[in-house]
Structure 1
């Protein structure tokens, strides 16, 4: 029995901590740990180039049960002390893959060792190679639908990985109506806004983003009495960052727009209060809208394919084209699709029960810690990894040197892997599969070019 357990009765509520940095990951972590009853919980926001602003943090906490008093901003070098101070039994690491691995290396030195839980903040179809490999040393991997659970089980098998999977309800998309959902009861009184959930990565090409901007402009012109609201995740004027780098923003593409086409940085839940319907290409906001009883159009203008991250909506009943958007022909998803995709029964969400069992096993000494092994390349590789993730928040000379030396090598290796695996089964071109064994399509930089207001 450890000193901490000897001083603390076994019947005390468990202590849960989470570590996150970027907007979507903070929102997911806060909602996930906030959904657990009768625990002591705290959220550490780690300082990286993508760390949320104070305003983004406030919005991310809305509806999660966490308050500003439950949050601490933590420098990377203080992460270990933060976890030790909270005496966490369970630590949820909510971040992009490289940061997850970097943080877990820090937690490898915490004694007694907490149970490590990881997951992704939204739709995770297709299940991607990097999502699994960066998180492979955690104790529990949380997914949010039966379909995702099957996909990641297959992905782990293909990669030769072993990790326990757990199902959770997407935490910021809890249903407003009991199961099974009666759509007539679930629908709320209609607002009048067409809310468009903008995404940084999808669609990616400028011409496609210009096409989306044109569709939104047409929808606004079709009925000047109703608003078209472009819901953005980060405020450029406030210098905020979001998880992914946006190269062609809708603020730039829609400088010339009708008066009833507006931008909003309000929380999505607030935007949905005034929504007639939601439009997206592949955003998790579609799931949030469905849970809120708001009908949806998932645009199929650019095809239903993995590269658009929208194959999850095939067979949902909510796909629509530009004409549907302009005419506001919103749809509710089919009951069969709902059951397999994010709207399973609450009783089937067992992630917390599984986490508790893992804590009990760890205390008994029959759950070995899954330590991150030393990388090939030794100290130089570690320094490169730290600097590439933390950017200016890492001020070591070794990090600066490793980044200069290692970045060209890393890019060459990644390019070679990508060229070797462009087509075939379980690649990005295999739209019939729910997994990808090939590298991520786009390597999103942690360092961001300077914003202009």
Structure 2
């Protein structure tokens, strides 16, 4: 199967590529990076650990016009809502007179805790809109059904990067001390004072518990972009304080799954990493120090039994998520891709109807025009007049060095996972 993934950040590439590998182990996966402020660097691509057959970078108009899409079986849109909706219009224009077109699939990289109706309607029109859990499926239906959007497009799966390696509650610490990992987020909290507070509490915990290792797991290095803007990088904040750090506190980068391999307690405000740790059966702490608030996303975890604070963690708290809650969130699923494989097979049996985004130039003229204009497209999805001049030439191929690094990471990290998913 030939699967093409459009992504606008390292996180969404990780989601889309993992989805492709989980859907069809051994498939031919092609990467298309949407050019913008959060286009992944070579390091970020390598850390994801999935080796694509090809990597290109370009504008949305260039992606939609790419000749290789004519032979694609599935296109995965791993982009923000506005870009996803624009891509649907661009693909609808591209394949408007075609007898064959690929199955178009999209979804969410993590928990859906804000702008749900807005995001869902921007994704409506894709053949498959993925719900990461039974909880999400119910909520998605509640939005689509009253508006006449076919519920058949909603397919339940799970986040593709949930690792199958369970946490051993009885493991010894011969190789390393009991390890607390604080999984940071680029924009939660967003303000400097809130981020400085979180950093100081992590440092304080390391000093209070000298027998523990405390990891501050960072998403991007200073100056790198990711899905969200990170105005106050934790490592920079630590340097700005000018205070010596305790020897058992470490700033770490890299693959989250590998970091969790050595972790005993995952601490975060609302990072998707919490779902990864809960999936393993690992103690997980959702911080309430700055309030349980929609803006922070930690309200999503209220029913998990894991909401706590740094003071309780200092005193030894290590909460475990309620099994009923994790089941409803699609965590610890035994066959996360079964329904998706069945639905894709159904869709590929017959010619697909034209792609029909929910918003059109007739139903929402100003909204559609604004969304598409920002991305170099006309209201009908065709390339805008200035698209060619704004672009820096044809879609660029990444260097051999980048592909070599990606290949090395793929062999070391992804091949075993593909074998596991494929039952090899």
Structure 2 length as normaliser, TM-score?
0.77
Match of 1:354 in 2: 343
Distance 1:206 1:162, change over 3 A: farther
Match of 2:187 in 1: 201
Determine whether 1:273 maps to 2:256.
no
Aligned-partner Cα distance in 1 for 2:158–2:16: 13
Match of 2:15 in 1: 28
8 Å Cα contact 1:141-1:165 kept in structure 2:
yes
Question: Displacement of 1:323 after TM fit?
Answer: 1.1
Aligned-partner Cα distance in 2 for 1:379–1:158: 21
Distance 1:147 1:46, change over 3 A: same
Aligned-partner Cα distance in 2 for 1:289–1:324: 19
8 Å Cα contact 1:383-1:398 kept in structure 2:
no
Distance 1:248 1:159, change over 3 A: farther
Match of 1:450 in 2: none
Q: Structure 1: any 5+ residue segments left out of the alignment?
A: 1-13, 178-182, 389-393, 402-453
Question: Displacement of 1:284 after TM fit?
Answer: 0.5
Determine whether 1:220 maps to 2:206.
yes
Aligned-partner Cα distance in 2 for 1:308–1:378: 27
Question: Displacement of 1:189 after TM fit?
Answer: 5.3
Determine whether 1:243 maps to 2:227.
yes
Count residues in correspondence: 367
8 Å Cα contact 1:220-1:226 kept in structure 2:
yes
8 Å Cα contact 1:25-1:94 kept in structure 2:
yes
1:94 to 78, 82, 88: 78
Aligned-partner Cα distance in 2 for 1:336–1:378: 40
Determine whether 1:315 maps to 2:315.
no
Determine whether 1:105 maps to 2:92.
no
Aligned-partner Cα distance in 2 for 1:398–1:70: 27
Aligned-partner Cα distance in 2 for 1:279–1:244: 20
Match of 2:158 in 1: 169
Determine whether 1:152 maps to 2:140.
yes
Correspondence 1:286-365 to 2 at 5 A: 286-343=274-331, 345-347=333-335, 349=337, 350-361=339-350, 363=351
Aligned-partner Cα distance in 1 for 2:128–2:145: 16
Determine whether 1:230 maps to 2:216.
yes
Match of 1:423 in 2: none
8 Å Cα contact 1:213-1:250 kept in structure 2:
yes
Distance 1:318 1:377, change over 3 A: closer
Distance 1:252 1:33, change over 3 A: same
2:124 to 123, 130, 136: 136
Distance 1:270 1:383, change over 3 A: closer
Q: Which runs of 4+ in 1 moved over 6 A?
A: 398-401
1:74 to 26, 48, 57: 57
Question: Displacement of 1:399 after TM fit?
Answer: 10
8 Å Cα contact 1:21-1:46 kept in structure 2:
yes
Determine whether 1:15 maps to 2:2.
yes
Match of 1:180 in 2: none
8 Å Cα contact 1:33-1:41 kept in structure 2:
yes
8 Å Cα contact 2:6-2:32 kept in structure 1:
yes
Question: Bigger CA drift: 142-151 or 295-304?
Answer: 295-304
Q: Structure 2: any 5+ residue segments left out of the alignment?
A: 378-382, 391-424
Aligned-partner Cα distance in 1 for 2:386–2:107: 33
8 Å Cα contact 1:45-1:72 kept in structure 2:
yes
Aligned-partner Cα distance in 1 for 2:81–2:272: 19
Aligned-partner Cα distance in 2 for 1:369–1:381: 20
Higher relative contact order by CA 8 Å / sep ≥ 6: 1 or 2? 2
